[in-house]
């Protein structure tokens, strides 16, 4: 073989590799295409994959989780309303309300931050006064962004919830 033939063979191989394969929406469409194009390489063409069972289960799980959060948030908000805490918290500075909600929710009712955010959103949606509505919307946003961690309190000696590096428990 001469150099020219090697070059031509190389170019032809590269040209075959560069051919684009088609991804079909159904098996019927693929069969029709292969029937219309008998020289087509079957191995290059495929059928679009729909969501796998694992992906569908993951989506369902996330949806259930969100519905559960909303339900727990609503239940927690109703418990706060029964104890008249919603009105008490509305009159306090936001920082104090956030600490109170997180301490009561995470320590008292054993719900997580996302549930408490849903609680604040639920309370916000129940408000008719635009100022209170904005107050509770801001509370929800601040809770979702707050840095939370449990640390040993230097004076009390037990684990205490810290919100943005401030202990939620006061030293008396």
* 42 and 88 assigned to the same domain: no
CA distance 119 to 60: 22
Identify the residue whose tokens are 């805490």.
Answer: 85
Do the domain assignments include residue 36? Answer: yes
DSSP state of 104: I
Statement to judge: residues 88 and 32 lie in one domain: no
Q: Could you tell me if 82 and 160 lie in one domain?
A: yes
Same domain assignment for residues 43 and 83: no
Q: Give the pTM.
A: 0.60
Q: How far apart are CA 126 and CA 135, in angstroms?
A: 12
Evaluate whether residue 53 is within a structural domain: no
Give the tens place of pLDDT for each residue, 74-103.
999 999 989 888 888 888 888 888 888 888
Dmax (CA) for the chain in angstroms is: 95
- Which residues are CB-contacts of 122 (< 8 A; sequence separation ≥ 6)? 70, 73, 74, 77
State pLDDT tens for residues 116-165.
Answer: 999 999 999 998 899 999 999 999 999 989 888 888 877 777 788 888 88
Q: Tell me, yes or no, whether 26 and 107 share the same domain.
A: no
Quote the CA–CA distance of 169 and 172 in Å, as a whole number. Answer: 9
Confidence band of 18 (pLDDT split at 50, 70, 90): very low
Answer yes or no: do 19 and 85 share one domain.
no
The domain total for the chain is 2
8 Å CB contact between 33 and 54:
no
102 and 149 share one domain: yes
Strands 148-152 and 159-163, bridge-based pairing = antiparallel
Domain span at 82: 66-167
pLDDT of residue 13: 61
Reference 98, options 75, 72, 119, 129; nearest CA is 119
What 3-state DSSP class applies to 158?
coil
Do residues 25 and 86 both lie within one domain? Answer: no
């Amino acid at each position: 073989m001469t150099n020219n033939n090697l070059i031509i063979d190389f170019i032809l191989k590269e040209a075959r590799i560069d051919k684009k394969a088609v991804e079909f929406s159904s098996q019927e469409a693929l069969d029709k295409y292969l029937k219309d194009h008998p020289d087509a390489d079957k191995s290059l063409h495929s059928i679009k994959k729909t969501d796998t069972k694992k992906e569908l289960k993951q989506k369902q799980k996330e949806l259930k989780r969100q519905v559960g959060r909303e339900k727990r948030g609503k239940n927690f908000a109703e418990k706060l309303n029964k104890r008249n805490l919603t009105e008490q918290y509305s009159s306090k500075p936001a920082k104090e309300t956030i600490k109170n909600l997180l301490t009561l929710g995470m320590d008292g009712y054993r719900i997580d931050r996302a549930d408490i955010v849903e609680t604040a959103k639920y309370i916000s949606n129940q408000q008719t006064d635009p100022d209170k509505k904005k107050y509770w919307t801001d509370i929800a946003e601040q809770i979702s962004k707050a840095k939370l961690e449990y640390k040993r309190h230097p004076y009390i000696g037990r684990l205490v919830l810290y919100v943005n590096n401030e202990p939620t428990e006061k030293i008396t």
